[in-house]
Amino acid sequence: MRFSAFLVIFLTFWFLILFYWFPPAKPTSFQDDQEDNPSLNPAQSRCKESVYVYELPDKFNLGLLRDCQHLNVYTNMCPHVANYGLGQPLPKMGSTSWFGTHQYTAEMIFHARAENHPCRTWDPLKANLFYVPFYGGLHCSSKFREPNHAVRDALTFELSEFILQQPWWQRNNGMDHFLVLGRTAWDFMRTEGGVDFGANKLLLLPPIKNMSVLTVERNPWVGSNQHGIPYASYFHPSTVGEMLAWQKSMREIERPYLFSFIGAPRTGVEKAAIRDEIIKQCDKSTRCLLVKCGHGASKCHLPSEVLKVMASSHFCLQPAGDMFTRRSTFDSILAGCIPVFFSPHTAYSQYAWYLPADPNAYSVFIDGEGDVGKRIEDHLVKIPIDKIERMRRTIIDLIPSLTYMHPNSTGYGFQDAVDVGLASLAKHVKSKLPLAKGSY
């Protein structure tokens, strides 16, 4: 008895000694080795950025999903937040890379991709970007109808306090930190005295103003720290082969319609007034395919129908709605359909990291104010066929960088929306912090 007790103490003692001399490899050390030895992961050697992903208390992200019935006051988000925010699979599309992705879940997909990203580092000392993975969009839409502003804003204040306490914040006053939001910036910029449509004040909090904010729609007037990222569409391939095959089919498909419009009229939204005109003109023209969205079941909510309509048209009309931007813009590019914009803020002032600097290279602009009376069809038929083909080639070449690859994928055959976002952000932060401490 006494001997075995001695043995236990003796062994414990040696165990502790050994433990402190040779601590067991943390799960992170494998990644660190990879980082120091790029040959283990060729994709990593291409990384100019090194992203540290904060482990936030789960009330800021995954914990919110436990109450997924109440994440959006208009709809049950449970099916949409499944599969890292990709939503429900669409087996009818013929492969496992298609999902009925909700328009406001890009923040979740970005998070899942970042966690699995070859440019991720577990060592903050090596990081030049710090990602704060707050599901701000989902949280915001769960509180749209909360009349008490203190209650509506509470979690955003807690987030702000949390990041201020992080030692890595101090290094560059948060200038190398960023958020990703799957909703538009307007939802986080409530001004007192304005119309209260449910927004909180996240983007107006002083620490957040020091950060970069990646969002599906930036405020083009005051959002100098806001950067547009694509809305997530329905295609989330894992391999470059699938991507190439899709691009090829969109190049070759026959497009019997000159133009199409999928959408609903809007009443009382000034920037959407042109929708009535568009619906009228499209309805009258034999060369336009109109899919009117309304309440209840409608083709316009079925991804396969949406893509079918867009893939059978040369041009897809993209008027502003409640917001300047539309997820539909990204669906249309995915279908090789050239977008027609009526406001510069639907794309040109939004997605500088992703779209060519010359709008004429990939889109048509019809001045929503001046040309409303003019017939859209007259405008589009005048575009020479070789110009149409050139624009279509350009947008089909853009598809990979506007796509959110499947988060499980580590095959880096192409640069997807997250790759482009991280690389562009690293460049941007570097330009703002030329003398910063850190590995630049």
Binding residues vs ligand NAG (CB under 6 A)? 173-174, 206-207, 210, 408
Cβ neighbours of residue 209 under 8 Å, at least 6 residues apart? 203, 225
CB of 208 to ligand NAG, least distance (A): 9
Helix (H, G, I), strand (E, B) or coil at 229: coil
Which positions ≥6 away from 279 have C-beta within 8 Å? 261, 263, 265, 290, 292
Provide, rounded to whole angstroms, the least separation between the CB of residue 206 and ligand NAG: 5
- Residue closer to ligand NAG (CB basis): 38 or 207: 207
CB 93 → ligand NAG: shortest distance, Å? 14
Cβ proximity to ligand NAG: between 210 and 394 the closer is: 210
Nearest approach, Cβ of residue 408 and ligand NAG (Å): 4
Q: Which is nearer to ligand NAG, 78 or 253 (CB)?
A: 78
Instruction: Say whether 317 sits in a helix, a strand or coil.
Output: strand
Which phi and psi (to 5°) does residue 315 adopt? -125, 140
Specify the residue, 114 or 262, whose C-beta has the smaller distance to ligand NAG. 114
69 vs 173, which CB is nearer to ligand NAG? 173
Cα torsion 319, 321, 325, 327: sign = negative
Which is nearer to ligand NAG, 72 or 409 (by Cβ)? Answer: 409
Pairing mode, strands 257-263 and 226-228: unpaired
Rounded to the nearest angstrom, the gap between the alpha carbon of residue 30 and the centroid of all alpha carbons in its chain is 29
Q: What is the smallest separation between the CB atom of 119 and ligand NAG, expressed in angstroms?
A: 19
- The neighbour count for residue 45, using CB atoms within 10 Å, is 13
Q: Closest approach of Cβ 225 to ligand NAG, in Å? A: 11
**Which residues are CB-contacts of 178 (< 8 A; sequence separation ≥ 6)?**
129, 130, 131, 132, 211, 212, 213, 214, 425
Neighbours of 437 (CB within 10 A): 10
- Closer to ligand NAG by Cβ: residue 179 or 311: 179
Shortest reach from residue 130's CB to ligand NAG, in Å: 13
